[in-house]
Amino acid sequence: MGIRTTPTTPFAGQQPGTSGLRKKVTVFQQPGYLENFVQALFDVVHGVGQPATGLTLVLGGDGRFHNRTAIQTILRMAAARGYARVLVGQNSILSTPAVSAVIRRHSASGGIVLSASHNPGGPDGDFGIKYNGTNGGPAPETLTQAVYERTQALGSYTLSDAADIDLGTQGVQQMENTRIEVIDSVADHAAVLRSLFDFDAIRALFARGFRLRYDAMWAVGGPSAKAIIEGELGAPAGTVVHAEPLEDFGGLHPDPNPVYADDLVAHLMAADAPDMGAASDGDADRNMILGRGFIVSPSDSLAVLAAHARKVPGYQGGLAGVARSMPTSTAVDRVAKALSLPCYETPTGWKFFGNLLDAGRITLCGEESYGTGSDHVREKDGLWAVLFWLNLVAVTGQSVEQLVRGLWSEHGRCVYSRHDYDGIATERANALMAELRASLPTLGGTTVAGQAIAWADDFAYTDPVDGSVSQRQGVRVVLADSSRVVFRLSGTGTEGATLRVYLERHEPDASRHDVPAQEALAPLVALAEAVARIAHHTGMNAPTVMT
Ligand code: G16
């Protein structure tokens, strides 16, 4: 064994986006591509030339294609860097919330998650890498920007030339002076979940014949969902479907929304539908909740959990506060107001919740992009959300739909939809946003497409804990009745650009709560087209995906 230093030259574009560096697998397969990024990461985290003496690193991924190869490379680099310990998931698997739980429970200095989340996998699919810090949460922008800058100045990387580690069996192995511990992929995370929810009440719910269909989308969430929901909570075998993690997610798009989880939606809309449906994504941090014949919007889900949190053991003392990303609907704001709780509005990206959670300012947070979580870890957590809903159904005796309708009748319904325009040429998408931004100073006070615009801006966020400022986080066009359209470009795609248009309208009138969302939002769609000239810039007359 020995440590080898290899000369290298920078790769363009190793700039992390909303959640780490995501590229095509073929990009990551280029010799030196992953090595350069990890070397830059270690250089920033430890200092150039500085070893990671005495520190513990957590390492795992969502099991997608290239995961196993990349894990061995990173183990060699961690050994060369002098880490005291690396905790790596068995078979190189750790879901994103599991990485967060392991970092926190084992006082690690950080962790590396190999995932492109909900993006498709396989040899022609996507791959990704991100770093989580000591708190278990995604690195802040200051760190990811520094890593990017370091990638552009790199001249070499170092790694051990030791043989591969056997990741199939739990136990301790040695590489250079580093102790490599292959750990159970679900145990730490499961222990955290067990401490939060009333498992007896959920067990009794299943014993009464309650039927759940949990679609793990052939992804990493399957084994833990099976172990907990079927194993510990006594749901019948077959409750968790598509539970075996596959390297290409069965060729599907592991994104739990009504479009990509259409099989689950079909089951919940059928005549003999189960009582509840749920799905998690490629790395098991996202979730979608459905009732029988009823789809719950992620924004409503967050609001329901906030409204009823005290009924769940882990939150019976009440919430310190709540937070949502800016494009997420204001349903949770209304709940927070009624409960006199602080409510924060952050930019898109789970990393922005980290400081608020660490400072104890919030307990629950969530996003329109099917992410919900709490201070139990520092990632969103798919299985956590499903257990939270099961716990609420068990102790309130209300169905999923009744819980959401209760929210609407108390606070009005925040009718909500997101329209995505995928695969736009990057220059065209940039031109659309530039034109929109240029129009901002004159938009407020004008009437466009028959609607009076009260104000418009480009969202900027000052972190209340560390004072850091994030600008240009999305254009908001807001009407007098607080209806709004938000425009931003996705930071998680790997091909061209995706324009996201978020539409929200508050409907206080209960007799109109069943108007289909797209119908209720049609005037806002017209407004979006008029202010942003979407068809002109993109050549598309309809969104690729509507959720
Ligand atoms: C990531 C982030 C989320 C964000 C989502 C969509 O989720 O962690 O905070 O809402 O991407 O981001 P964008 O709109 O920029 O594509 P995940 O599940 O992909 O890690």
Catalytic residue annotation: 117
Using the 3D structure, point to which of 394, 411, 428 is the last residue of a domain: 411
Q: What is the best residue among 129, 356, 369, 421 to mutate for testing ligand 1's pocket, by most ligand atoms within 8 Å of CB?
A: 369
CA distance 127 to 364: 29
Beta strands in 385-514 (DSSP E): 413-424, 447-448, 451-458, 461-462, 469-470, 475-479, 484-489, 497-507
CA-based nearest residue to 391, from 481, 487, 311: 311
Q: Any residues with CB less than 8 A from the CB of 47 and at least 6 apart, and which?
A: none
Give DSSP secondary structure letters for 161-222.
-PPPP--SS-EEEEETTEEEEEE-SSHHHHHHHHTTS-HHHHHHHHHTT--EEEE-TTSTHH
Same domain, 384 and 420: no
Of ligand 1's listed atoms, the one at least distance from the Cα of 349 is 9
Domain boundary among 365, 393, 411: 411
C-alpha dihedral, 340 to 331 to 385 to 87, nearest 10° = -80
Measure 119 CA to ligand 1 centroid, in angstroms.
Answer: 11
Alpha carbons 303 and 332: distance in angstroms, whole number? 4
Residues lining ligand 1, Cβ inside 6 A: 18-19, 117-118, 285-286, 325, 348-350, 367, 369, 371, 490-492, 500
Mutate to test the pocket of ligand 1, among 324, 345, 348, 418 (most ligand atoms within 8 A of CB): 348
pTM beyond 0.85: yes
**241 beta partners:** 215
d(CA 458, ligand 1 centre) in Å: 19
Name the residue range of residue 365's domain.
Answer: 189-411
φ, ψ for residue 379, nearest 5 deg: -135, 160
Residue nearest to atom 17 of ligand 1 (CA): 117
- Same domain for 433 and 354: no
Ligand 1, atom 2, lies closest to the CA of 349
Each residue's pLDDT tens digit in the chain (547 positions)? 699 999 999 999 999 988 899 999 999 999 999 999 999 999 999 999 999 999 999 999 999 999 999 999 999 999 999 999 999 999 999 999 999 999 999 999 999 999 999 999 999 999 999 999 999 999 998 999 999 999 999 999 999 999 999 999 999 999 999 999 999 999 999 999 999 999 999 999 999 999 999 999 999 999 999 999 999 999 999 999 999 999 999 998 999 999 999 999 999 999 999 999 999 999 999 999 999 999 999 999 999 999 999 999 999 999 999 999 999 999 999 999 999 999 999 999 999 999 999 999 999 999 999 999 999 999 999 999 999 999 999 999 999 999 999 999 999 999 999 999 999 999 999 999 999 999 999 999 999 999 999 999 999 999 999 999 999 999 999 999 999 999 999 988 888 999 999 999 999 999 999 999 999 999 999 999 999 999 999 999 999 999 9
Which position has the token pair 């890498």? Answer: 129
Task: Note whether 151 and 216 are same-domain residues.
Answer: no
Tell me, in angstroms, the distance from the centre of ligand 1 to residue 369's CA. 7
Residue whose CA is closest, atom 19 of ligand 1? 117
Q: What share of the chain is helix, strand, coil (3-state, %, to 5)?
A: 35, 25, 40
CA nearest neighbour of 189 among 221, 215, 234:
221
- Give the domain CATH number at 406: 3.40.120.10
Please check whether residues 112 and 240 belong to one and the same domain: no
Same domain for 397 and 367? yes
The enclosing H or E element of 291 equals strand 287-291
Dist CA 295 CA 276 (whole Å): 10
Which residues are within 8 A (CB) of 511 and not within 5 positions of it... i.e. 6 or more apart?
none
Check whether residue 371 and residue 225 sit in a common domain.
yes
- Cα(117) to centroid(ligand 1), Å: 8
The number of the ligand 1 atom at minimal distance from the alpha carbon of 493 is 16
pLDDT value of position 1: 67
Kindly state whether residues 325 and 228 are assigned to the same domain. yes
Q: Please provide residue 190's backbone torsions phi and psi, each rounded to the nearest 5 degrees.
A: -60, -40
**For the CA of 492, the nearest atom of ligand 1:** 16
Q: Is the dihedral of CA 20, 23, 29, 32 positive or negative?
A: negative
Pocket test for ligand 1, best of 280, 286, 345, 350 (most atoms within 8 A of CB): 350
Residue from 299, 378, 492, 544 to probe ligand 1 pocket by mutation (most atoms less than 8 Å from CB): 492
Question: 83 and 55 in contact (C-beta within 8 Å)?
Answer: yes
Residue 381 CA to ligand 1 centre (angstroms): 13
Cα gap 52→365, rounded to integer Å:
33
- Examine the domain organization and report whether 175 and 203 are in the same domain: no
Yes or no: say if 305 and 289 are a contact pair by the CB < 8 Å rule.
no
- Do 386 and 460 sit in the same domain of this protein? no
Question: Tokens 């860097």 correspond to what residue?
Answer: 81
Instruction: Return d(Cα 255, Cα 490) in angstroms, integer.
Output: 15
270 CA distance to ligand 1 centroid (A)?
31
End position of a domain, from candidates 377, 411, 445: 411
Same domain? For 490 and 344 the reply is: no
Atom 1 of ligand 1, nearest CA residue: 19
The residues near 229 (Cβ < 8 Å, ≥ 6 apart) are 212, 214, 235, 239, 240, 386
> Quick one: which H or E segment has residue 265?
helix 262-269
**21-24/126-132 β-pairing:** antiparallel
Which CATH number do you get for residue 471?
Answer: 3.30.310.50
Claim to verify: residue 201 and residue 170 sit in the same structural domain: no
Q: Are residues 152 and 249 in the same domain?
A: no
Separation of CA 492 and ligand 1 centre (Å): 6
Closest approach atom of ligand 1 to CA 498: 16
Rounded to an integer, what distance in angstroms lies between the CA atom of residue 374 and that of residue 98?
14
Rg of the chain in Å (alpha carbons): 23
Q: Report the run of H or E that residue 41 belongs to, with start and end.
A: helix 33-46
Q: Count of domains in the chain? A: 3
